[in-house]
Structure 1
Amino acid sequence: MTTPNPRRTIDELKALRALTGDENGAQRVAFTDKWVAAREFLKERLAELPVEVHTDPAGNLWATLRGDSERELLIGGHLDSVPNGGWLDGCLNVLAGLEVLRRINAQYGGKPPVTVRLVDWADEEGARFGRSLYGSSAASGYFDVDQMAKLHDRDGVSLADALLKVGVTLADAPQAQAELKHAAAYLELHIEQGPVLEGLRLPLGAVLGTVGVERHTITFHGQAAHSGSTPMNVRRDAFLAAGRFGQEIYTLAERYGGVCTVGSVKTLPGIVTSVVETCELTLDQRHLNAESLAAMWQDAQAAATRFAEEGGCTVTFADLWKIEPILFDPELIDACEASILEVVPTSHRLPSGPLHDAAEVARAGVPTVMLFVQSLRGISHNKIEDTLEEHLELCVLALDKLADKAVAWIKR
């Protein structure tokens, strides 16, 4: 029986960090030169295996090890990062999956019982264009080309133009749905990005599903006026209304037991000598219960309208993106927990607050499960993101055992 080499995965993670990071953290933002370099790093290692490598019409990278059956086990992750991100978020999934692919290839002499595929999803983070899960949503079918065509980064570059630079045509992206035609199971490993496992002093956990997300822009419209000559009591200050709303989201989150985040704020005219005429903010709301999530968004709109009226302003709302709560496959959750218990004495089941490509694959109808490994301090999307190396070794072993169980599950 062949076994994976978790130490090799850690060494490759460190090599990728050296290649695509700097003193501020990971810089593998989607469709940039560093992201392209990360893809080349992966391709160099895939070239050592008897796999078919191709990029689908959405820009997702696939490595396929053909098996006796056309039914497929998918193992996925993403190489892209947020700016100044951590060394593990996303790329751990891919490089651990690479190590599992190596082990399966060695064990079966290049011909496993089922086809096994490793996928690097494009732009999971959404850090550049504000729309997470770009590549996996193209594959799942939950993808609107017209809406995507409206997206621009902070430098004014459109998503369509950024894709063209890496050889992808936005209008063709929905053709990526063909990649899931024979998918029978999907596995994804990820750092937890939260404090639960560390608080329980456990290295690994089986994920029940991902919370639902409502993501919107809220724009307050006031009146620009001279900051020196306009009395405070007659100002129509869009930023004042937005600031009051920013406080209110904490009340909303507590009321419903969810989370709410104002992640970005943009003001116009944006100069020190003018009252703010326009203030646009982004709101991210998350909850495991669909009804509570919908109620949080309704209350947010009502609160924004109230604060706008109180300040002599108006407010408009626009949709960015949303996804309903997604529960993972019960049998694969059991298999994930059993795999964990083969490498450590105790497991824990928990939901995922962050979004993951696994949610898109699951809502496309593919049986899915995720495996979490502990995050130190619960911190992610930050250069101090970290996981103990002994825990990284354990998660590679657990993912490998889960892959074996998934292969058997697909064959039955």
Structure 2
Amino acid sequence: MALNPQRTIDELKALRELTGDENGAQRVAFTDTWLKARAFLKEKLDALPVSQHMDAAGNHWATLQGDSDRVLIIGGHLDSVPNGGWLDGCLNVLAGLEVMRHLNEQYSGRPPVTLKLVDWADEEGARFGRSLYGSSAAGGNIDIAEMQKLRDRDGVSLEEALNRVGVTLADAPKARAELRNAAAYLELHIEQGPVLEGLGLPLGAVLGTVGVERHTVTFHGQAAHSGSTPMNVRKDAFRAAGQFAQEIYTIAERHGGVCTIGSCKTLPGIVTSVVETCEITLDQRHLDAGKLAAMWQGAQEAAKRFADEGNCTVTFGDLWHIEPIPFHPELIDACEASIRETAGTAYRLPSGPLHDAAEVARSGVPTVMLFVQSLRGISHNKIEDTREEHLIQCVEALDRLAGKTVAWVQSRA
């Protein structure tokens, strides 16, 4: 049986019909629609000589036993954001399914290494606000006490949602056993950004996921009457914040990273008062840990400078951070070679969004990702799309990458 990328496209469209509506994909984790998507995948896998099970965290695994217990994993996620796109996550899983079919036929049901396909549970975090739940449980990076506090907008706890699908939250760390013999991990994903389209390229090899520094920056001034307070004596927290907002973009450009001010809150928040307090949220990202640290240091220095110039003060709060997670250099090389063989030209780029691959790589498993172009760079939206010829190429490239990785795993035995 030859590789059949068109079948992947047909199955993606069938899944869209089953689990979407006029507003987009509705495969939110642990809902009835998500369960329909899981049942769709299980039915397709039933045609292969694989064993299937759900692990202690709720991840779904299909295993094709090989001559060696060393495991090549191909992963993705069926869950989506509300009103999401038709490719985000599920392309990874259904392309992986097609590659597993091909390798099963190529090796007459007994590949030289064991193959696993995984559908990670709740990659998006759209319902409970905690992304990468299933992969972080398998990777050993989960805090059960914190997870027990999570609730959706209807007041349903994560624990209750998991119970409904047969999972006990307290048992989630047991999912670490799934990676015990993992020798490599591959993940295909739409880019979700404009880089490949801007370059006119269908595919890219991913260098790793960027590190993130996320903080609050709060400027403290003094409330005063808007009409009676001269400009030269004001302690205007918003003015200091506005000057800082311009500077952080210069800092990001200087270091080759990106930054975002996502929210701005002012107090007292009325038109007749000078702003006493201005709190902004700052998100900074870079693939290089040293440059990311320099960006945050530069931001703090700039904030203090503008606060001093405006007779204000500034304080900083930590929201969240994650270190840059580089992927395996030999697998990046293999990914690039697979892209060149498929599309003629390859490009290496970092991933700004986080993915399950980041958690797998953090756990020590050699990992790489393959990106396929996203039209308009849009994702998490019903207009998310990729050209069908590029979808065919990404399945072909993933298949080539899987074949090269099987040989690579064998060479390291």
Matched with 2:146 is: 147
1:13 aligns with 2:46: no
Matched with 1:161 is: 160
Q: What are the equivalent positions in structure 2 for 1:47-126 lying under 5 Å apart?
A: 47-126=46-125
SS in 1 for 2:201: coil
Matched with 2:386 is: 387
Q: What are the equivalent positions in structure 2 for 1:305-316 lying under 5 Å apart?
A: none
SS in 1 for 2:75: strand
8 A contact 1:240–1:311 mirrored in 2: no
8 A contact 2:148–2:159 mirrored in 1: yes
Residues 269 and 29 of structure 1: CA distance in aligned 2, closer, same or farther (over 3 Å): farther
Structure 1, 282-291 or 92-101: larger mean CA deviation: 282-291
In 1: Cα distance, 2:298 partner to 2:161 partner = 36
8 A contact 1:236–1:313 mirrored in 2: no
SS in 1 for 2:43: helix
Structure 1, 304-313 or 205-214: larger mean CA deviation: 304-313
8 A contact 1:373–1:395 mirrored in 2: yes
CA displacement at 1:218 relative to structure 2: 6.8
Q: TM (normalized to structure 1)?
A: 0.85
8 A contact 1:218–1:318 mirrored in 2: no
Q: Which has the larger radius of gyration?
A: 2
Residues 182 and 217 of structure 1: CA distance in aligned 2, closer, same or farther (over 3 Å): farther
Write out per-residue CA displacement over residues 220-265 of structure 1, whole angstroms, 9 at most, x where no aligned residue: 9999x9xxxx968899999999888766654553354322234567
8 A contact 2:215–2:316 mirrored in 1: no
SS in 2 for 1:53: strand
8 A contact 1:308–1:315 mirrored in 2: no
Amino acid in the other structure paired with 2:317: F
Structure 1, 27-36 or 350-359: larger mean CA deviation: 27-36
Structure 1, 281-290 or 262-271: larger mean CA deviation: 262-271
Amino acid in the other structure paired with 2:383: I
SS in 1 for 2:342: coil
Matched with 2:293 is: 294
Residues 311 and 50 of structure 1: CA distance in aligned 2, closer, same or farther (over 3 Å): farther
Give RMSD over aligned pairs.
3.5
Q: What are the equivalent positions in structure 2 for 1:324-339 lying under 5 Å apart?
A: 324-339=323-338
CA displacement at 1:94 relative to structure 2: 0.4
Total equivalences in the alignment: 406
CA displacement at 1:155 relative to structure 2: 4.0
| Identical aligned residues as a percent | 75
Q: Any unmatched runs of 5+ in structure 2?
A: none
Structure 1, 149-158 or 123-132: larger mean CA deviation: 149-158
Structure 1, 175-184 or 290-299: larger mean CA deviation: 290-299
SS in 2 for 1:343: helix
Amino acid in the other structure paired with 1:294: A
SS in 1 for 2:364: coil
Write out per-residue CA displacement over residues 116-170 of structure 1, whole angstroms, 9 at most, x where no aligned residue: 0001111222233333222111111122223333333344443333323322222
SS in 1 for 2:343: coil
Amino acid in the other structure paired with 1:328: F
In 1: Cα distance, 2:162 partner to 2:277 partner = 31
Residues 48 and 289 of structure 1: CA distance in aligned 2, closer, same or farther (over 3 Å): same
In 2: Cα distance, 1:251 partner to 1:40 partner = 49
8 A contact 2:217–2:314 mirrored in 1: no
In 2: Cα distance, 1:209 partner to 1:331 partner = 13
Residues 393 and 214 of structure 1: CA distance in aligned 2, closer, same or farther (over 3 Å): same
Residues 277 and 16 of structure 1: CA distance in aligned 2, closer, same or farther (over 3 Å): farther
Write out per-residue CA displacement over residues 59-111 of structure 1, whole angstroms, 9 at most, x where no aligned residue: 11111111111000100011112222211111100000011111112222322
Residues 211 and 304 of structure 1: CA distance in aligned 2, closer, same or farther (over 3 Å): same
8 A contact 2:16–2:25 mirrored in 1: yes
Q: What are the equivalent positions in structure 2 for 1:11-410 lying under 5 Å apart?
A: 11-216=10-215, 249-263=248-262, 283-298=282-297, 317-320=317-320, 322-410=321-409
In 1: Cα distance, 2:336 partner to 2:210 partner = 20
Residues 134 and 267 of structure 1: CA distance in aligned 2, closer, same or farther (over 3 Å): farther
8 A contact 1:237–1:313 mirrored in 2: no
Residues 128 and 301 of structure 1: CA distance in aligned 2, closer, same or farther (over 3 Å): farther
